[in-house]
Chains A and B, each alone.
Chain A
Amino acid sequence: MPKIYLDYAATTPIDPKVLKAMLPYLRKDFGNPSSIYYLGQKALGAVDEARKTVADFLGCDAGEIVFTGSATEANNLAIFGVIKTTKITKPHLITSQIEHHAVLEPCRELEKQGVEVTYLPVNKEGLVGLAEVKKAIKANTVLVSIMYANNEIGTIQPIAELSKLIKKTNPKILFHTDAVQAVNYLDCDVEKLGVDLFTLSSHKIYGPKGVGALFVKKGVSIAPLIRGGGHEAGLRSGTENVAGIVGLGAAIKEIQNPKHKIQNIGIRQLKDKLIKNILKLIPDANLNGSQEHRLPNNVNISFQGAEGEAMVIALDQKGIAASTGSACSSKSLEPSHVLLALGLSEEEAHGSLRITLGRPTCQEEIERFLKVLPPIIQRLRQISGYQL
C-alpha cells in the first residue's frame, strides 16, 4: 500500500536539487564562515549567495535578511526585538487571535511584562477586518503582527491593504507578517506588501528543517535575542548553519522555477476537487475558512459526530497522513484557537480535519483519499451514536 502524505503545511520533503546544493557544505566545504582562510571564505560566500537569493525573492537588499534557526525564532526576534528597542514606556502591540503560537506566545509573555496587547478577532472566514485594525491603533502602538496566510485554515490576509491603513494612521508603527505558509504560493515582494518585518521558514518550502529567516527593513531597529560572536550583523549570534542556509536559498530559487508555478495551478484544482467531493460524499460536513481568500493547498473541514484525532489515526492505518485541530491531538488538550476564533463550537473544532497538498500530490492520491475517508467518518459516527 503506497503511503499518501497530505500534511504539507506541517512540513515538506526536501527537494532533490536543494539537497544536492547542501551536501558539499556538510562534507568538503565544511568551513566556518567567520574564518579568514579559503575554506571559511568559501562557506561565507555560500551564505552570502543564499542571502542574495532570498533578498531578490523578497525584493529587498541582502543586508536586510537575518538567518535564524527557525521561523519561530524569527517571529520571536521580530516581536521581542522591536519591543526591546522601543522608546515608548508602555508600548502597545496588535496581533490577531489566529496567529501561530510562535507569535501568540511572545505576545503573551510581553503582556506579563507590562506590554499592552490587542488580539484582533476575525470573521467567519478568518479574515482580520481593516476597520478593527484601525480601531485598535493607539498613540502607543509600536507594532502590528498579522500572518500572511493561516496554517490551519489557509485564509490569506490582505497584507498590502492592512499596511496602507496602518502606515496612513501612523507611519511609525512597524508591521510584521509571519509568511511561513504563504511563501510557496503568494507574492512575497516586501515593498508591495508594505511590511517592515517578514518571517519565512525553510522546511515548509521543500528546504531543510532548522532554518528560518527574518527580513528587517533598513532603518528598523531591533535588538537581538541571542548574543555572542555578533553573527548576522549582531542580530543573531551563533555559527551559521551553512548547509541549512544554502538549502533555504536553493529552495527559494526553486519556488521561482516556472515548473512549480504551473504545478501550483494543478494543486489548486486538486484542492477544489477535494473540497467539492468531500462535501458531496459526506453529509453534515462544513468547510472551515474562506472559499475565496484561501491558500491553493489547504482543505479544512469539520465533520459532525466524529472526532479529528480518531480520523487522523484511522487514516494513518490506511497509510494516509493528515492533521486535525482537535484538542485530542494537541499537547495542551485544548481545541484549535484558530477554529474557535472563527466562531466554531468546541465540538466542531474537535471534528476538524486538515488536508494540505503539496508538489508531489497527484490525482490518484486524491482519489484514494476520497475512497478511504467516507467509510471512516461513517464508522466513527456509528461509534459515537451520531444520528444523521
Chain B
Amino acid sequence: MKPYYSKKVIERFLHPKNFGKIKDANGVGKVGNPRCGDLMELYIKVEKKNNKEIIKDIKFNTMGCAAAIATSDMICDLVRGKILKEALKIGYQDVADKLGFLPPIKVHCAYLAQEGLKAAIKDYQKRKK
C-alpha cells in the first residue's frame, strides 16, 4: 500500500519549523484563494551584506491542506540565507522533490509556495523604491 502522502510531507505537516509572522518583515507575499482552499502568507526579512541582498529570515502562515503546509515550510528552509537572485531560481519542482513525493493533485501546492515567495520578493522590491 502506498500512503496518500509521503513520510516527508507528513513530517513537515506535523512539525513545521517555520510558521509564524516576522514582526519587522520587509516583504510579504499573499497568495492562493479560498475557492481552491489554500491561503498562504510568506514573510521575508531581507538584509544587505556586502552589496548582496540576503533572505535573512522567512516565515509563513498557511490556511490549507497538509501539502500546502508542508510546501510552505519547505520553501522557507530552501531559501533562508540565500541571495534574492538565487532564491528566485527555486522552482516548485525543487520544493516537490525535497518532499519526496506529492500526489499529482497537490503539485499546485508547491507551485503556490513558489508564487508566495515571488510575491514576497516583489513586495520587498516595491517597498525598497
- A and B from one complex: yes
Assess A384 versus B61: contact at CB under 8 Å? Given A310-B13, A313-B5: yes
A313 to B109, CA, bound (A): 16
Min Cβ gap A62→B in Å is: 41
Query: B interface, how many residues as a size bin?
Result: 20 to 34
Q: Is the CB–CB distance between B61 and A309 below 8 Å?
A: no
> A291-320 CB contact bits vs B (8 Å, 1 = yes)?
000000000000001110110011001000
Q: Is the CB–CB distance between A335 and B35 below 8 Å?
A: yes
A310 to B73, CA, bound (A): 14
Q: Check if A326 is an interface residue, CB within 8 A of chain B.
A: yes
> B94-116 CB contact bits vs A (8 Å, 1 = yes)?
00000000000100000000000
When distances are taken between beta carbons in the complex, the residues of chain A under 8 Å from B65 are 307, 309-310, 313, 326, 328-329
A307 to B62, CA, bound (A): 10
| Contact stretch, chosen from B36-44, B46-54, B79-87, B120-128 | B36-44
Q: Check if B90 is an interface residue, CB within 8 A of chain A.
A: no
Question: Number of contacting residues on A, CB 8 A?
Answer: 25
SS of A interface (majority) = helix
Q: Check if A27 is an interface residue, CB within 8 A of chain B.
A: no
Quick one: closest A residue to B14, CB to CB? A317
> A305-347 CB contact bits vs B (8 Å, 1 = yes)?
1110110011001000000001111010111000000000111
When distances are taken between beta carbons in the complex, the residues of chain A under 8 Å from B4 are 313
List B residues at the A interface (Cβ < 8 Å): 4-5, 10, 13-14, 16, 19-21, 34-39, 41, 61-69, 105
Q: A327-B35, A328-B38, A382-B20 are in contact. List 11 more A-B contacts (CB 8 A).
A: A307-B38, A310-B68, A313-B5, A313-B65, A314-B13, A314-B14, A328-B68, A329-B65, A350-B63, A383-B61, A385-B61
List A residues at the B interface (Cβ < 8 Å): 305-307, 309-310, 313-314, 317, 326-329, 331, 333-335, 345-347, 350, 382-386
